[in-house]
A and B are shown apart, each in its own frame.
Chain A
Amino acid sequence: QKEVEQNSGPLSVPEGAIASLNCTYSDRGSQSFFWYRQYSGKSPELIMFIYSNGDKEDGRFTAQLNKASQYVSLLIRDSQPSDSATYLCAVFSGYALNFGKGTSLLVTP
């Protein structure tokens, strides 16, 4: 069973702070890693993906990957109330995306 683990939260951060979301995975053969944001009742929307060790930055978002530790994270800088959502970590293992259960993020004004 290829597992993707996330803390369900909720993670509460004040507006303007940095939100840190973490994810671990069990399949060492995993190739690509994705972060999706899902608002209640809506389909997931892609935030960013990463496939090389290190950091990848896109605007206020930074994804960090450490394949040796089987760990991927997402940092959200200058968090806004509109960032409040469930964040899904997904791991692609050459076959399909396997999802974590998601971390609920609440950004308080």
Chain B
Amino acid sequence: GAVVSQHPSWVICKSGTSVKIECRSLDFQATTMFWYRQFPKQSLMLMATSNEGSKATYEQGVEKDKFLINHASLTLSTLTVTSAHPEDSSFYICSAGETGTGNTIYFGEGSWLTVV
């Protein structure tokens, strides 16, 4: 099946710094990718939809100036957490799908962010 790769798998950063997470579709082109956040024992919450060549669409309550999303190519989307704070510590997961029947969507491996 399709593969979505995320990097880094885990990152620790100091409060106030920025960290970038990459999401790549390895064997298909993804015009749309999705970024989710999951706190421990909680469900996945959609943060934003990343659209290739255009601005991301953010869900209500998600600060677009804090969570910068760039989708510069059909295989790469990046999420940058700016001026990170400890409450931003979470599991960030991207997903992308192939077009066609079923609209199957696959997840990256996820990135654990810890802000200290």
Judge whether A31 is part of the interface by a CB distance below 8 angstroms.
yes
Is the pair B46, A97 in contact by a Cβ cutoff of 8 Å?
yes
A67 CB, min distance to chain B CBs, angstroms: 15
The complex places the Cα of A41 from the Cα of B34 at a distance, in Å, of: 19
Within 8 Å of chain A (Cβ to Cβ): is B61? no
Listed in ascending order, the chain A residues whose CB lies under 8 Å from chain B are: 31-32, 34, 36, 41-46, 49, 51, 88, 90, 92, 95-102
Known: A42-B109, A43-B93; 16 extra A-B contacts, CB below 8 A, are: A32-B102, A34-B104, A41-B91, A42-B110, A43-B6, A43-B108, A43-B110, A44-B93, A46-B104, A46-B106, A46-B107, A51-B101, A95-B49, A96-B34, A96-B46, A99-B44
In the complex, the chain B residue whose C-beta lies closest to that of A97 is: B105
Question: Looking at chain B, what size class is its interface with the partner chain?
Answer: 20 to 34
**Closest 4 pairs between A and B when the two form their complex, measured CB to CB:** A43-B110, A101-B43, A99-B44, A43-B107
Q: How far is the CA of A45 from the CA of B103 in the complex (A)?
A: 15
Q: Is B95 an interface residue when CB atoms closer than 8 A count as contact?
A: yes
Q: In whole Å, how far is B105's beta carbon from the nearest beta carbon of chain A? A: 6
Contacts of B45 in A (CB 8 A): 99
